[in-house]
C-alpha cells in the first residue's frame, strides 16, 4: 500500500471539537432521495475533503449546511446550535460566520474586484464604501492578487485570478468556517497547486476550518486532514486519507488506487520526501 508510510504531518490547529455536526440528514427532490440519515462532523481547524461519485450529493450537502437548501429532515448543529430549529435572524447571525466559494466564483460581472468584495462589507458589516473598499483591497492581497487587480472586472481576469478574487470575497467578513465547492475546477495544474497551497496557508494563518468539496486528488493529498466519502445517500467513511484509501469499497478503490489516485499519491510522497530533505 503506497499510502501507509506517507501521512502528512498532522495540523496542530485541528481539535476533536466539532464545529458542525450533521445528524440524520435527509434531502430529497421529489422521489429522488439524495441523503438519508447522513451523519458527518467537521472538526475545528481541519480541512475536510468531501468526495464521492457524481450526483452523490456533495453540493447539496454543502448547500444544506450553509442554508441554501432546506433538508427534508435531520439536524445541522453549528457551534452547538441547530440551524434548522433557529429563527431566520438567529440563523443569519450564524451564517455570517461562514465564507462560501461557489463553483464558478459567482462574482458580480458589472463590479470591479474591490467593489465585489466590498458588497458583503457594506451590506452585512455596515461599513461605508471607502472603508469597505480599503478592506477589500487587503482581502485581495491576502489571496495573492496584486494591487492593480482591485480595479479590474471579472471578465478581464484569468480563471485563477477569478478564483482568488472569489476567495477574497468569501473571506470578506472574517469567517470561521470556509466552504469551498470544487475550488480547483477549471484551473491548470500549476494554478491548481498554487490554489491548494493558498488554502492551507490561509487556514494556518487565519485559524479557519475548511469544508472542501472536490474531485481533485492532488487537492486531497496536499490539503486535507480528513476525507469524507459520500456513497449511497450516506457518508461511507470519514477519516485520514490512508484509512479512507484502505476502505473496501469499489468506488473508493477505483478512485484512490486507480491510475490517477496512484499518481497523486506518488507525487505527494515525492513532495513530502523533498520537504523532509530540505528541513
Ligand atoms: N434543486 C434541485 N432540484 C432537483 N434535483 C436536484 C437539485 N439539486 C440537486 N439535485 C440532484 O441531487 C443530486 C445530487 O446533486 P449534487 O449537485 O449535490 O451532486 P454532486 O455530488 O455535487 O455531483 P457532482 O460531483 O457531479 O458535482 C443530483 O442527482 C442532482 O440532480
Average predicted confidence (pLDDT) for the chain? 89
Distance 28 CA to ligand 1 centre (A): 10
How far, in Å, are 75, 252, 275 from residue 2 at the CA level? 38, 15, 18
What is the structure's pLDDT at 8? 47
| Atom 31 of ligand 1, residue of closest alpha carbon | 55
Look up residue 260 and give its three cell numbers.
Answer: 490517477
Distance 32 CA to ligand 1 centre (A): 10
- Does domain 17-97+175-278 fall under CATH 3.40.50.300? My reply is yes
Pocket, ligand 1, Cβ cutoff 6 A: 29, 34, 52, 54-60
| pLDDT at position 7 over 60 | no
Q: ipTM, 2 decimals? A: 0.97
| pLDDT at position 3 over 60 | no
DSSP string, 22-66: EEEEEEEETTEEEEEEEEEEEETT-EEEEEESTTSSHHHHHHHHT
Pocket test for ligand 1, best of 38, 53, 58, 103 (most atoms within 8 A of CB): 58
* Helix 129-142 vs helix 113-123: crossing angle, to nearest 10: 120
What is the structure's pLDDT at 6? 43
pLDDT tens sequence across 189-234: 888 999 999 999 999 999 999 999 999 999 999 999 999 999 999 9
Look up residue 17 and give its three cell numbers.
Answer: 471539537
pLDDT tens sequence across 95-107: 889 999 988 768 9
Query: Phi and psi at residue 152, in whole multiples of 5°?
Result: -95, 155
Asked if residue 19 lies in contact with residue 209, where contact means CB atoms within 8 angstroms, the answer is yes
Query: Phi and psi at residue 147, in whole multiples of 5°?
Result: -55, -35
- Return the residue matching grid coordinates 440528514: 25
Mean pLDDT calculated for residue range 272-277? 72
Confidence of residue 9 (pLDDT cuts 50, 70, 90): very low
Above pLDDT 90, what percent of the chain? 64
| pLDDT at position 161 over 50 | yes
Q: Which atom of ligand 1 is nearest to the CA of 213?
A: 22
Decide: residue 253, CB within 10 A, 0-12 exposed, 13-18 middle, 19+ buried.
Answer: middle
- The stretches of the chain forming alpha helices (DSSP H) are 58-65, 88-95, 113-123, 129-142, 159-170, 189-206, 217-223, 241-245, 250-257, 259-278
pLDDT tens sequence across 140-154: 999 999 899 999 999
pLDDT tens sequence across 55-72: 999 999 999 999 889 999
Pocket test for ligand 1, best of 53, 59, 229, 235 (most atoms within 8 A of CB): 59
Mean pLDDT calculated for residue range 17-28? 96
State how far the Cα of 98 lies from the Cα of 108, in Å rounded to an integer. 19
Domain boundaries, the chain: 17-97+175-278
Pocket test for ligand 1, best of 26, 57, 66, 234 (most atoms within 8 A of CB): 57
Distance 29 CA to ligand 1 centre (A): 9
| Atom 13 of ligand 1, residue of closest alpha carbon | 55
| Atom 8 of ligand 1, residue of closest alpha carbon | 60
Q: Which atom of ligand 1 is nearest to the CA of 61?
A: 18
Any idea what DSSP says for residue 19? E
| Atom 25 of ligand 1, residue of closest alpha carbon | 54
Q: Which atom of ligand 1 is nearest to the CA of 56?
A: 21
What is the structure's pLDDT at 11? 63
Amino acid at each position: 500500500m503506497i499510502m501507509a508510510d506517507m501521512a502528512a504531518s498532522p495540523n496542530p490547529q485541528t481539535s476533536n471539537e466539532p464545529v458542525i455536526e450533521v445528524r440524520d440528514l435527509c434531502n430529497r427532490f421529489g422521489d429522488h432521495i439524495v441523503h438519508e440519515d447522513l451523519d458527518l462532523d467537521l472538526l475545528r481547524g481541519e480541512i475536510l475533503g468531501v468526495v464521492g461519485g457524481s450526483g452523490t450529493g456533495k453540493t447539496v450537502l454543502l448547500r444544506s449546511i450553509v442554508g441554501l437548501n432546506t433538508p427534508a429532515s435531520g439536524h445541522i448543529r453549528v457551534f452547538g446550535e441547530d440551524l434548522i430549529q433557529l429563527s431566520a435572524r438567529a440563523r443569519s447571525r450564524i451564517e455570517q460566520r461562514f465564507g462560501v466559494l461557489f463553483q464558478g466564483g459567482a462574482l458580480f460581472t458589472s463590479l470591479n474586484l474591490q467593489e465585489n468584495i466590498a458588497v458583503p462589507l457594506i451590506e452585512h458589516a455596515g461599513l461605508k464604501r471607502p472603508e469597505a473598499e480599503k478592506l477589500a483591497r487587503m482581502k485581495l492581497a491576502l489571496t495573492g492578487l496584486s494591487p492593480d487587480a482591485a480595479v479590474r472586472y471579472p471578465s478581464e481576469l484569468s480563471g485563477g485570478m477569478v478564483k482568488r478574487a472569489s476567495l477574497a470575497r468569501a473571506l470578506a467578513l472574517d469567517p470561521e468556517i470556509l466552504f469551498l465547492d470544487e475550488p480547483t475546477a477549471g484551473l491548470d495544474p500549476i494554478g491548481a497547486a498554487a490554489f491548494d497551497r493558498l488554502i492551507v496557508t490561509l487556514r494556518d494563518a487565519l485559524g479557519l476550518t475548511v469544508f472542501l468539496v472536490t474531485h481533485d486528488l492532488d487537492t486531497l493529498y496536499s490539503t486535507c486532514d480528513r476525507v469524507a466519502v459520500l456513497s449511497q445517500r450516506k457518508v461511507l467513511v470519514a477519516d485520514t486519507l490512508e484509512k479512507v484509501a484502505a476502505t473496501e469499497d469499489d468506488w473508493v478503490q477505483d478512485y484512490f488506487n486507480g491510475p490517477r489516485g496512484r499518481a497523486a499519491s506518488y507525487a505527494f510522497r515525492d513532495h513530502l520526501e523533498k520537504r523532509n530533505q530540505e528541513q
